[in-house]
Structure 1
Amino acid sequence: MSPILLAGATLNQTPLDWEGNLDNIIQAIAMAKEKNVDLLCLPELSITGYGSEDLFLSYWYPKKALDSLQKILPYTQDITVLVGLPCRIHSQLYNCMAVLEDREILGFVAKQFLAIDGVHYEGRWFTPWKAGEVTTIECFDGKYPFGDIIFDKHGHKYGFEICEDAWRGSKRPGHRLKKRGVDIIFNPSASHFAMGKSEQRELLVKESSKELGVAYFYVNLLGNESGRMIFDGEVLYAEEGEVLLKNKLLSFQSVQLQTIHFPAKGAKPLQLTHNSQTKNEEFMAASTLALFDYLRKSRSRGFVLSLSGGADSSTIAILVADMVKRGVEMLGAPLFLKKIHRENDISPSSNTKEIIKEIFTTAYQGTRNSSTATLNSAQNLAKSLGATFHHWTIDEEVSSYTHKIENALGRKLSWEKDDIALQNIQARARSPIIWMLANIKNFLLLSTSNRSEGDLGYATMDGDTSGSISPIAAVSKDFILQWLRWAEKEKAYEGLSYVNSLQPTAELRPQERSQTDEDDLMPYPIISAIEKLAIRDRRSPMDVYLILKEEISLEPSVLKGYIAKFFRLWSINQWKRERLAVSFHLDEFNVDPKTWYRFPVLSGGYREELALMEKLEE
């Protein structure tokens, strides 16, 4: 048996972009042929895109995917190509890999285990295939084997574990493939990005190659495919318990190709390192790619941000600026501008700051309760990044709304009686004017909500939650605060020095009342500790208390108070989370009911559970 050259290509696909998806696949095949690749593996559902949602339920959509498959066939002369698509047989839909070779279809392999937790809902669309079963599928005037099949390339047997298949322990298909004598297992995936997940995949691929005694080749999708989930485009290859190939993740390139010989004789194992700052790097890279894809796929012309000078809006400002920086570095200014559809009105010779000025507009919308410190923070950050900056006040609008309500009620509003309403009207009064600016420019409005404040409803609906997308809604505030310090020091964003010197505050009460976010809520690290147990791990209030009292040095009554406040505010503010703008999944969990954690809008609010916790003797 002669050695063969293997390749994995990661693709940035988009649901319903049939032409664009096909072009990416054809480009990957062409790149592989230039390198004389024998066998090319493409990711899971690469013809349609993984995020096609309920389009999979229709009959025409899988049929059109087959039409695309037929268009790929002529490009497979002298190469084997493995490509993902949905296939329907007798009313059941399956998540499949088609094996194409020399302009022929060799067969279809169907996924055996479906991802149905967290952000994944495959069971809504697909049927799992039964191990060992084989049937035929009729298409293109022919019949082809379909099911649990292995193949041969120049004497080397190969088979598949499709994404979730590999994570099922003793039930995984790999054990059966080992008994069938395969030499190579391909894992075409649509595995969502989360900070720290790459390290888990490295371990899976490395241990799989050792345990199963095979070469293990993993290939993931790339990019913010359809709005929420981000794919990091990871390609991994291992033999005998050693990772021999790993690419650079989260590329702005639509197609990346990685090659390796099988067997990989003489290849040196990679030294893969992960440290305490890896998540900071991953967050930045994933968020910037997500913003880039969202901008170009929505065909918007740029971003607008209400820049308060505080942590949340400043984080988003850095991410937008860094998106431009990375895009220009990876693609060059001309291609970057072409991809975001601005090649005709921004000079390709423009530098990064000049491009940022054209596509990123910020505004500080002050009130009499705003401070000079936050104005200086916002203004200096915008200037350091090159963003367009506006400054206006909204006191006139706030007064107009307030006077109308006072006339209707027949009394003056006061901070003693009307605190929340007087805070909220300031946040809401900012929304119409910043939306107007975004509409005029055909820009996307960026919302500044974070996960910690989403937990407790510490956000004004139609105020700071207004926006087209909410880039940081899936990360905690304490993560953001440490990330900003890191970005100032490690990424040389010196404009953050003002931001990092400020205590987080909404600045919605008069300054003499000394408002801070943590005084209104609780310390952010406490919020994070509670939410990980309550939301990520789905623990009861009693469980949360019993665990945290061993981990956090607080008086029992204080800790109980924080836990009770968290569960009460969580329960009554579900309606707000239902209305949050589209957010990116970035961490191991999020609180978006559309993608991760569903909770009833109306509930009993944990009254009995909290009462039991309060009665617990210390």
Structure 2
Amino acid sequence: MGHLITVATSLNQWALDFDGNFERIIESIRIAKERGATLRVGPELEITGYGCLDHFLEGDTVLHSWEVLCKVLLSPFCTDIVCDVGMPIIHKNVTYNCRVIIHNRKILLIRPKMWLANDGNYRELRFFTPWAKHRQWEDHYLPRIVQAVTGQTKVPFGDAVISTADTCIGVELCEELFTPASPHILMGLDGVEIFTNSSGSHHELRKLHTRVDLIKEATLKLGGIYLYANQQGCDGDRLYYDGSALIALNGRIIAQGSQFSLSDVEVVSATIDIEDVRAHRARSSRSMQAASAERYHRIEVAMALSDGQMGKVIDSQAIRRFEVSYHTPEEEIALGPACWLWDYLRRSRTQGFFLPLSGGIDSCATAVIVYSMCRLVVEAASRGDDQVIADARRIAGETDGSTYVPSDPKEFANRVFHTSYMGTENSSSETRSRAKQLSQDIGSYHVDLNMDTVVSSVRNLFGLVTGVKPQFRVHGGSSAENLALQNIQARLRMVLAYLFAQLLPWARGKTGGLLVLGSANVDESLRGYLTKYDCSSADVNPIGGISKTDLKKFILYARDAFSLPILDSFINAVPTAELEPITDTYVQADEADMGMTYDELSTFGRLRKVEKCGPYSMFTKLVHEWGTFLSPTQIAEKVKLFFFEYARNRHKMTTLTPSYHAESYSPDDNRFDLRPFLYPSRFPFQFAKIDATVPGLPDRSNTPPEQDRSSKAKADQ
């Protein structure tokens, strides 16, 4: 029996950080060799970082990749181990996303990606060309700087496999696992026993199950060992790559890395008997298909991945008992955005965060996520993570030679997290009290202020210039006056937020500035229920891709997990912007203002983006989903109201604060949701078709006619 040690690696790479990326690659190889591994796999485009975007079009990016690869080849850690490394390569004046397989200072194979990710968050066809010559290869002439290191003039480039003395290795790249006709099928039928997959897969809530199922399915019928390496961390953009490196054997996951971590390098390893693969494949039907399979070119390497000795021990019981770890969505919200914020904070070299804390659930959730980040920093420091400790000292303003180690989340939060309640005459004592109590419970440095004098100054200036002074609706003003007065408050909060973010460290006797955090959720952005350039305009927004429904569940989770009983008061409060005067008969409420509930918005968002529905198809779907409690007329009015508000507010998405991507229906048009921002907002053709369809549909809701009319009247307001 030949025993193999195989590894999959998660690295926290950073776009264009060539020195840092090199150091993390070498550290992962060192750890792998220390564990006796003979095969090491890294994440996609690990030398450059995955998120270089249009920098992949620059010749410098490819040149520097070759320079870093030379350093990897020359490293003493890279001997007697097969390493699978990712970088962009120009072959015959065409740029490809490639894996470079190296061994003992030689390049064995350059394997270009054949199926590119080109939807959602990905635009790989903008930078790369897919390799269309399947099961074909040709010579690639190496740059002279590489020839000087390897002694090779040319190497194989294309769709081939690696043959060692004891097994055969094939390469898949990220998206190729997700395609219907994945390369591992034909490679496996031609005798490939180990499949490597180097990925740059981002986090979305509830997404990990899909990835795990695909990896298990890849070897369940086929048999084989599947090594999945994924990037982990913020690569420099809205995405958080959520690690969870995996090793599968014959349809079972036998090893898994962390999904969320502050560590820069994580190596996942397993010891596997290759004979288990061969036994799994001993089926007549599989053998019949394999006997007629087209062959792959094999590149031979004079080494064995196994040592041929019986000294190594496989814990078969542990392999059989292994269960994949999944976080709940609430845990994902607590961990993913927190890790993303930490990467953003330490790499931007700022001194902390500033958050306008309104006393509402959205800014509350943002604050709790920052507190979760502080908890993760303390946990990593307690484990002796030198990189986290060094970053924490620098961010906290400790001088060189300091022995400070963060040991209490509240104490660390007081150093790096600043909050402010910006009240007006329209604010309630309840929201002010909630904000102050939350800041005390999580340890943030809190400022409580009234901004009425600033608001009055702007309002009086307008009156001085025009001779008329705007009034709120409750004081007899028009809708235009009412909206303008609300927007004045919201936009001034943004101005004050940046003022305090720049000067609060100075006021505390420190240097540097703070990153301003936004706190508009994905549903409000979708509906456009926010003021352009208000306090939702910030540097980054950790909750901008999370629904209000999920945020409420997260707050309930954090109440117990983080021992924050104050969060009960946020859950029970009615969501309100507090931008209009409170009277005995009127209190502003978000859902009433929007004309739809947050749960309805989540449904609209899913149908619009994920299921690709226009107004008419959304209506027909909702007739079936909501038909038992709403009449066709009510559903039609809700759909038309949503699309009208979505269309006329779409321009706000062009200036949306860069947000952590967590939801599949995010309306962020800068990356994920490419749609126009000038619409025929009444959708006359589409709405007319809905109206023509409604009379022919049965009403299954048993809704009284007067209730139906009142609902329509509300929707028309």
TM-score, length-scaled by structure 1:
0.96
Q: Distance in 2 between matches of 1:556 and 1:377?
A: 42
Q: Hey, what does 2:135 align to over in structure 1?
A: 132
8 A Cα contact 1:253 1:331, kept in partner: no
Task: Please list the CA deviations of residues 482-502 of structure 1 after superposition, one character each: whole Å capped at 9, or x if unmatched.
Answer: 221222134422231221221
Q: Hey, what does 1:188 align to over in structure 2?
A: 198
Gaps of 5+ in 1: none
Q: Hey, what does 1:479 align to over in structure 2?
A: 550
Q: Hey, what does 2:688 align to over in structure 1?
A: 611
How many residues get paired?
615
Residue 500 (structure 2) pairs with residue 437 (structure 1): yes
8 A Cα contact 1:118 1:589, kept in partner: no
RMSD of equivalent CA atoms: 1.6
Matches within 5 A, 1:109-258: 109-130=111-132, 131-139=134-142, 140-141=146-147, 142-169=153-180, 171-258=181-268
Q: Judge which range, 545-554 or 510-519, deviates more.
A: 545-554
Structure 1 letter corresponding to 2:126:
R
Q: Hey, what does 1:515 align to over in structure 2?
A: 588
Superposed displacement of residue 328, structure 1: 1.5
Runs of 4+ with deviation above 6 angstroms: none
Residue 668 (structure 2) pairs with residue 592 (structure 1): yes
Q: Distance in 2 between matches of 1:349 and 1:394?
A: 35
Residue 533 (structure 2) pairs with residue 459 (structure 1): no
- Partner SS, residue 468 of structure 1: coil
Structure 2 letter corresponding to 1:592:
D
Q: Judge which range, 1-10 or 111-120, deviates more.
A: 1-10
- Partner SS, residue 105 of structure 1: strand
8 A Cα contact 1:424 1:460, kept in partner: yes
Matches within 5 A, 1:351-370: 351-370=408-427
Superposed displacement of residue 349, structure 1: 5.5
Q: Hey, what does 2:508 align to over in structure 1?
A: none
8 A Cα contact 1:163 1:188, kept in partner: yes
Task: Please list the CA deviations of residues 108-145 of structure 1 after superposition, one character each: whole Å capped at 9, or x if unmatched.
Answer: 11111000011010010111012112012222232111
Q: Hey, what does 2:322 align to over in structure 1?
A: 270
Superposed displacement of residue 192, structure 1: 1.1
Residue 485 (structure 2) pairs with residue 422 (structure 1): yes
Superposed displacement of residue 609, structure 1: 0.8
8 A Cα contact 1:2 1:154, kept in partner: no
Gaps of 5+ in 2: 148-152, 275-313, 506-512, 698-717
Q: Distance in 1 between matches of 2:463 and 2:685?
A: 40
Q: Distance in 2 between matches of 1:589 and 1:57?
A: 29
Task: Please list the CA deviations of residues 467-510 of structure 1 after superposition, one character each: whole Å capped at 9, or x if unmatched.
Answer: 10011111111221222122213442223122122110000011
Q: Distance in 1 between matches of 2:554 and 2:635?
A: 27
Superposed displacement of residue 561, structure 1: 2.1
Superposed displacement of residue 342, structure 1: 2.7
Q: Distance in 2 between matches of 1:367 and 1:337?
A: 40
TM-score, length-scaled by structure 2:
0.83
Superposed displacement of residue 189, structure 1: 0.5
Q: Judge which range, 321-330 or 606-615, deviates more.
A: 606-615
Structure 2 letter corresponding to 1:530:
F
Picking from 654, 672, 691, the partner of 1:578 is: 654
- Partner SS, residue 212 of structure 1: coil
Superposed displacement of residue 273, structure 1: 6.2
Structure 2 CA distance for partners of 1:81 and 1:196, relative to 1, 3 Å: same
Matches within 5 A, 1:49-64: 49-64=49-64
Q: Judge which range, 348-357 or 184-193, deviates more.
A: 348-357
Superposed displacement of residue 412, structure 1: 2.6
8 A Cα contact 1:119 1:595, kept in partner: yes
Structure 2 CA distance for partners of 1:32 and 1:272, relative to 1, 3 Å: closer
8 A Cα contact 2:396 2:415, kept in partner: no
Task: Please list the CA deviations of residues 526-563 of structure 1 after superposition, one character each: whole Å capped at 9, or x if unmatched.
Answer: 11111111222221212112211222222333322221
- Partner SS, residue 64 of structure 2: helix
Q: Hey, what does 1:525 align to over in structure 2?
A: 599
8 A Cα contact 2:522 2:544, kept in partner: yes
Structure 2 letter corresponding to 1:86:
P
Q: Hey, what does 1:549 align to over in structure 2?
A: 623
Q: Hey, what does 1:558 align to over in structure 2?
A: 634
- Partner SS, residue 87 of structure 1: strand
Matches within 5 A, 1:487-498: 487-498=558-569
Q: Distance in 2 between matches of 1:269 and 1:176?
A: 30
- Partner SS, residue 161 of structure 1: strand
Superposed displacement of residue 87, structure 1: 0.5
Picking from 315, 319, 336, the partner of 1:286 is: 336
